[in-house]
Amino acid sequence: MYKALRGMNDILPGVSRIWQDVEKNAISVLRQFGYSEIRTPVMEEKGLFVKSVGGETDIVTKEMFSFRDRGERDVVLRPEGTAPIVRAYLEANLHKTDPFQKFYYIEPMFRSERPQAGRLRQFHQIGAEVIGSLNPVVDAEIILLLAAILDKNGIKDYTIRLNNLGCHDDKIRLSGALKAQLSDKEVLLCDDCKKRLQKNPLRVLDCKKDSCRNIARSALKSIDFLCENCKNHFAGVKECLKGTSAEKKCVDDPYIVRGLDYYTSTVFEVSHPALGAQDAIGAGGRYDNLVKDMGGPALGAVGFALGVERMLMARSKDTAVFKGSATVYVATIGEKAAKEGFKITNELRIAGIECNMNYEGSSLKSQMRDADKLGSVLTIIIGDDELAKGEIVLRDMRTKEQISAKFTDMLKTVNEKLKTYSL
Does 257 contact Zn ion by CB under 5 A? no
In one-letter notation, the amino acid at residue 398 is R
Among 209, 217, 221, 238, binds Zn ion (CB under 5 A): 209
Binds Zn ion (CB under 5 A): choice among 44, 80, 170, 261: 170
Select from 140, 143, 149, 212 the one that contacts Zn ion (CB under 5 A): 212
Name the minimum Å distance from CB 287 to Zn ion: 14
Smallest separation, CB 164 to Zn ion (Å): 9
- Work out which of 22, 147, 207, 290 binds Zn ion, going by CB under 5 A: 207
Rule CB under 5 A: is residue 288 a binding residue for Zn ion?
no
* Closest CB 252 distance from Zn ion, rounded Å: 17
Closest approach, Cβ 186 to Zn ion, in A, equals: 11
Stretch that binds Zn ion, among 13-21, 52-60, 149-157, 164-172 (CB under 5 A): 164-172
Name the residue nearer to Zn ion (CB basis): 170 or 269.
170
Residue closer to Zn ion (CB basis): 81 or 259? 259
Asked if 188 interacts with Zn ion (CB under 5 A), we say: no
Least distance to Zn ion from the beta carbon of 293, Å? 17
Least gap, CB of 317 to Zn ion (angstroms): 31
Min separation Cβ 207 and Zn ion, Å: 3
- Indicate whether 193 belongs to the interface with Zn ion (CB under 5 A): yes
Least distance in angstroms from the C-beta of 233 to Zn ion: 8
- Contact with Zn ion (CB under 5 A) among 230, 305, 337, 348: 230
Which amino acid does the sequence have at 355?
C
Residue 165, interface with Zn ion (CB under 5 A)?
no
The least distance separating Zn ion from the CB of residue 267, rounded to whole angstroms, comes to: 13
Residue nearer to Zn ion on the CB measure, 125 or 163: 163
If the CB atoms of residues 128 and 302 are measured against Zn ion, the closer one turns out to be 302
Task: Answer yes or no whether residue 58 interacts with Zn ion by CB under 5 A.
Answer: no
- Which residue in 128, 129, 131 sits closest to 99, CA to CA? 131
Stretch that binds Zn ion, among 85-93, 230-238, 296-304, 391-399 (CB under 5 A): 230-238
Distances (CA, A) of 350 to 123, 129, 197, 328, 376: 35, 38, 63, 13, 18
Binding range to Zn ion, per CB under 5 A, among 147-155, 211-219, 335-343, 385-393: 211-219
328 binds Zn ion (CB under 5 A): no
Per-residue HEC secondary structure of the chain comes to: CCCCCCCCCCCCCCHHHHHHHHHHHHHHHHHHCCCEECCCCCEEEHHHHHHHCCCCCHHHHHHCCEEECCCCCEEEECCCCHHHHHHHHHHCCHHHHCCCEEEEEEEEEECCCCCECCECCEEEEEEEEEECCCCHHHHHHHHHHHHHHHHHCCCCCCEEEEEECCCHHHHHHHHHHHHHHHHHHHHHCCHHHHHHHHHCHHHHHHCCCHHHHHHHHCCCCHHHHCCHHHHHHHHHHHHHHCCCCCHHHEEECCCCCCCCCCCEEEEEEEECCCCCCCCCCEEEEECCCHHHHCCCCCCCEEEEEEEHHHHHHHHHHHCCCCCCCCCEEEEECCHHHHHHHHHHHHHHHHCCCCEEECCCCCCHHHHHHHHHHCCCCEEEEECHHHHHHCEEEEEECCCCCEEEEEHHHHHHHHHHHHHCCCC
Q: Is 205 in the site for Zn ion (CB under 5 A)?
A: no
Query: Which residues touch 212 (CB under 8 Å, ≥6 apart)?
Result: 189, 190, 193, 204
Q: Which is nearer to Zn ion, 84 or 166 (CB)?
A: 166
Residue nearer to Zn ion on the CB measure, 158 or 287: 287
What contacts 333, CB < 8 A, 6 or more positions away? 364, 381, 382, 383, 384
Count residues contacting Zn ion (CB under 5 A)?
10
For position 197 contacting Zn ion by CB under 5 A, the verdict is no
Q: Please, which residue, 101 or 133, has the CB nearer to Zn ion?
A: 133
Closest separation in Å from C-beta 235 to Zn ion: 13
Residue ranges in contact with Zn ion by CB under 5 A: 166-167, 170, 190, 193, 207, 209, 212, 227, 230
